[in-house]
Amino acid sequence: MRTGNAHALSLGAGWMVVASAMFALMGVCVKSGAATFSPVALVFWRTSLGVVSVGAAALWRRDAFATPWMRYHMQRGLIGFVSLLLSFYAMAHLPLSTAVTLTYTSPIFLAALSVVLLGETLSRRGVTGILLGFAGVLLLLRPTFAADAWPASLAGLLSGALAGWSYLHVRELGRRGEAEWRVVFYFALLSSVGSAVIMACGFAPWRTPDLASLPVLAGVGATATLGQLAMTRAYKVGNKLLAANLAYLTVVFAALLGWGLWDDALDAGKVMSMTLIVISGIFASRR
């Protein structure tokens, strides 16, 4: 039994490392594609592949798309869509490590919103996590405000807040026994339709992909889809708490990739703020 548990832990941990690497690479693709495509267009390409792949797999298995919880899907999808738009905007205008770290404040906001909206109580560890998280955010944002990058910084922070809110709906869908693939599918579908409507109405430009841009767009969709699948697998076969903690490797991978590809600075203040946010997220998730 112990050998089996150890194998499950290592397998789950391995899948979460893969997921974290995929999400960090997705950030690289988004930042690279932002020179040519708007954040709205990048969201469209990121989610369209998810609609096709998840939908095709469901059709192959002959799963039912109908669900009695469509209202929750719509709410989660709308909130998640806006969060995704804001995170892509932040990635386009901020150092990759800063943008990714801000979006990973979602567990802090999830803990806070659970108190405000659901009336849950926080342990001392949860309160400590929230306080550490906001201290880390203030430390991380200080240089961006000085460099007049505050719109993108606020977009990244708001993305984290909305992601935390959307996770409340995901948790509610899980409690009601909703299939995981439908949660992923309807979020991707609403985001694809929403971004297509925004571009069709002229609020964001549409650019037809060419051969030079196809690898980046394919990379956005592929890394996001593979990351989602690997993360789902990690939570299914491994320890959920360990998987949640290892998810923060995305921040580490993003910092290293940003430093290697764009020479993003990793000074002591930035490393300290990122560390505080990661620790706070771990504390908040254990509330």
Residue 110 burial by Cβ neighbours in a 10 Å radius (0-12, 13-18, 19+): buried
Domain residues of the chain, as ranges?
Answer: 2-285
DSSP output for 138-186: HHHHHHHHHTT-HHHHHHHHHHHHHHHHHHHHHHHHHHTT--HHHHHHH
**Residue-level pLDDT at 166:** 87
Spatial CB neighbours of 46, under 8 Å, sequence gap ≥ 6? 26, 30, 84, 88, 191, 220, 221, 224
Contact 278, 248 (CB under 8 A): yes
Task: Give the chain's length.
Answer: 287
**Residue-level pLDDT at 1:** 42
Question: How far apart are alpha carbons 223 and 254 in whole angstroms?
Answer: 14
User: What's the token pair of residue 270?
Assistant: 């930035």
CA atoms within 13 Å, Cβ hemisphere of 189? 16
Helices and strands, number each (H, E), in the chain: 12, 0
Residue 204: how many CB atoms within 10 A of its CB?
A: 18
pLDDT tens-digit profile of 221-246? Answer: 999 988 888 887 787 776 666 677 77
**Residue-level pLDDT at 181:** 87
**Residue-level pLDDT at 201:** 95
165: amino acid identity, one letter: W
| Ranges in the chain, pLDDT < 50 | 1
End-to-end CA distance of the chain: 29
